[in-house]
Amino acid sequence: MKSPFLRALAENMRMRRYAKRTIESYLYWITSFINYNFKKHPSFCHDREVESFLSYLANTKNVAPKTQALALNALVYLYKEFLDKPLTLDLKYNRTTTQPKLPVVLTSTETALLLKNLPAHLSLPCYLLYASGLRLMESVRLRVQDIDFDYLSIQIWHGKGGKHRRVTLAQELVSPLKKQIESVHLYYEQDMKNTKYSRVYLPYALAGKYPNAAKEFNWHYLFPSARLSVDPESQMVRRHHIHESNLQKAVRETSKKIGFTKRVTCHTLRHSFATHLLQRGADIRTVQDQLGHSDIRTTQIYTHVLQAGANCVRSPFSDL
């Protein structure tokens, strides 16, 4: 990042404990806004330029509603929190009318087939995407202490929107998870003997609040990388979690190998978890809590993919 302005903006968000992905997304849209305005400094722009940019995203780029909303959130942050020149609450711009896509959902048979054929060393974190409805990054960022075997649940800290929640843990995954923790402990013992090893990464200034936690076993990642690496920010030697792209590639290639015609991603497993819960009669509020949705309307989209239709409508064609 060459721009001193963008570096200062990123540091401002880090100080406010924004997630790394949120910082990256906000920087992307703020950079796009600057480029759209012929690299004019944002302090010389305001409501009119923001309205024009948002309309451009809808009219020319034809972005999804959530994408336009994300761009707006980035600019609201820029002007309110960083430049101290809040935008008006009554921005006038063309809102995108692109309809969100319905989620791709696997049947129970397809799900079982996919999970069975995943590479063995990546199968467990993928199992959790379906078994507990986790997001991809929630799975790879799990710490050893997040698994609650007594109450058959998993604790998710700082999920999307910074929210915490507790989700279900399938009984069938207890044994594999305990074996995984044993494997993690071997890495831990090895690292503790390595004089170059610093400690595991802790977010949100927790390292300062709990100075000894970063070297405690329970704080280490449940799915650690096979190699140590240098943290680009602190220059410390750490063992990070497995990279999410490994899971994405495994799911994508396994799907192709099986011959699925559906476009299957890691998030498809989360979609399938929600839909299958509803098919089994789970209350939509329960599903909402499991998924960590703030708005129940987000959860209701899964009712549209149920076999009998959202309102259990029977087609008249079936009576011919």
d(CA 310, CA 305): 7
Query: If you search the block for the tokens 């302005």, which residue do you land on?
Result: 5
Q: How many CB atoms lie within 10 A of CB 122?
A: 17
In angstroms, the Cα distances linking 34 to 6, 27, 37, 176, 182 are: 11, 10, 5, 49, 50
d(CA 68, CA 66): 5
d(CA 59, CA 295): 27
- Would you please indicate which residues are annotated as catalytic (active-site) residues? 135, 160, 267, 270, 293, 302
Structural contact between residues 125 and 146, judged by C-beta atoms closer than 8 angstroms: no
| Type and span of the H or E element at 237 | strand 237-238
Work out whether the CA dihedral 81, 87, 88, 91 comes out positive or negative. negative
Token representation of residue 212: 């000894």
Residues facing residue 237 across a β-bridge: 197, 230
C-alpha 25 chain-centroid distance? 13
